[in-house]
Chain A
């Protein structure tokens, strides 16, 4: 039963990982990768590592949701409407990845795995944590708090001036004439009309307003617009 489940998960993980490079659409590629990670997370559950498995799924789905935004923003062909390949330097890549896969698979199969000594611990997650961290646990917990505080502080400092220049005007963001960023708020929708066929080719038709690359991509990425 466990073996069968593992096989299914392994196939899903590898197949959806391969799908990342097969599908055209950036959204599909991102979420294929997410599915691959979810399969890995679930297979951790088979090792009774409940916490690590569930947290892996949590982190990866969250990461991929963010990554999808950036993939659509920066990659060519975000919606898969244009012919495009995710593969570059095919021969070298194939040789390297095939070699690595074979080497790792050979290692997994050929290494004489030790037999289990003693019984499985009651809480494998705790045991794994103690095996990795050992006496450094307290330090690591302290460091994690410091790291988190640093991230929050850095963000607060970095965005203190707000998106529209100075902070308070963020509340009145769509006042006209407030620099290049005006017209955010309800302005998203208005980019629909930038999205004629071919708009994808670049943001040049946005009149060289660089900030439009940010808003405009959404619309530009789906050239057909609404079909209603």
Chain B
């Protein structure tokens, strides 16, 4: 399947699709979440329509008054708050849907990597801005765990690029005709998925927004600020899932259905896996993430890149 760039107006539907996927993830998460916090602060079973909670919550947050703190760094706080959603949109720009991509960059893979690195800054700033202890703790936790996941993520991105002999995401999709990369790069795929969860501060990597720190980066965010951060988190997961589909799961390849539908279905499937696993795994402290990242994931994914390189050299 060849991938071509789209006209400029494609930015709007692409953003819509990303937000719809983020909403889908939030709905699934809400449906799976059977326990809520009751009025007395204890966990209680939630009755009623759980699937509509994300939209109701969004509506509530939009009407809620924003919160301010004593001497916040408002500029940096705003930048940090907008950061995750903006980063997700920038990532989605290089993710092909079927045979179309918003920006067919020759260095799409590096672009994706660069945007996820800006999250280091965004989350730290979102923690720094409010001049409050718990967000600050969350921001530092994110930078600490970023040190753990970033290098494995870089090498996980390297493997498909080496196999496709190109940094263009469209070329990576095209190189998977016949055999999806997930088949012979399972380690890179798993590390990539883990890194997506990590830069989304999700599941085992959610200590930056952890309950033990009163919500961490989210602790002081209210109203639209909170909505932006929460939506940004889901959008990051959605964009990362889309990239996983393009890099490892053959993009829009599949029988009967049109390519764009396959891309979306696969993205939803990966997203669902991330959302479901989120409730099944314990939260890891950043120092343990660094240990796992550097002592397990990094050597494993380096070996994976070695295997891929050897195969490519042998193929000539």
Which residues from chain A sit less than 8 Å from chain B, CB to CB? 25, 27-28, 31, 34, 50-51, 54-55, 57-58, 61-62, 64-66, 68-69, 79-81, 152, 155-156, 163, 170-171, 173, 185-186, 188-189, 191-192, 195, 218-219, 222, 224-228
Which of A34, A152, A188, A228 is B137 in contact with, Cβ under 8 Å?
A188
B120 lies within 8 A of A61 (CB)? yes
Chain B residues with CB under 8 Å of chain A are 67-73, 75-76, 79, 105-107, 110-111, 113-114, 117-118, 120-121, 124-125, 128, 131-134, 136-137, 140, 143, 146, 150, 167, 212-214, 220, 285, 287-288, 291, 294-295, 298
The list of the 7 closest CB pairs from A to B, nearest first, reads: A227-B70, A227-B69, A65-B120, A58-B114, A226-B132, A192-B133, A188-B137
Q: Which single member of B72, B105, B287 contacts A170 (CB below 8 Å)?
A: B287
Which A residues are in CB contact (< 8 Å) with B124?
65, 68-69
Residues of A within 8 A of B117 (CB): 58, 61-62, 65
A31 touching B294, Cβ below 8 Å:
no
In the complex the two chains form, is A28's CB within 8 Å of B114's CB?
no
In the bound complex, residues from chain B placing their C-beta under 8 Å from that of A156 are 294-295
Query: For the complex, what is the distance from the CA of A156 to the CA of B120, rounded to whole Å?
Result: 23
Minimum C-beta distance from A134 to chain B (A): 22
Task: Tell me the complex Cα distance, A25–B134, Å.
Answer: 20
| A191/B133 contact (C-beta < 8 A), A61-B118, A62-B150, A170-B287 known | yes
B167 neighbours in A (Cβ, 8 Å): 51
Given that A31-B125, A61-B121, A188-B213 are known contacts, is A218 also in contact with B140, CB under 8 Å in the complex?
A: yes
- Residues in chain B near residue A25, CB distance under 8 A: 73
Instruction: Say whether A58 contacts B120, CB under 8 Å.
Output: no
Beyond A27-B125, A226-B131, 19 additional contacts (C-beta under 8 Å) are A25-B73, A28-B76, A31-B76, A31-B79, A51-B110, A54-B110, A58-B110, A58-B114, A61-B114, A62-B150, A65-B120, A69-B140, A79-B131, A186-B213, A189-B133, A195-B133, A225-B131, A226-B220, A227-B69
- List residues of chain B with CB within 8 A of the CB of A195: 133
B128–A55 contact, CB under 8 A?
no
Q: When A28-B76, A54-B107, A189-B213 are in contact, do A226 and B114 touch as well, CB less than 8 Å?
A: no
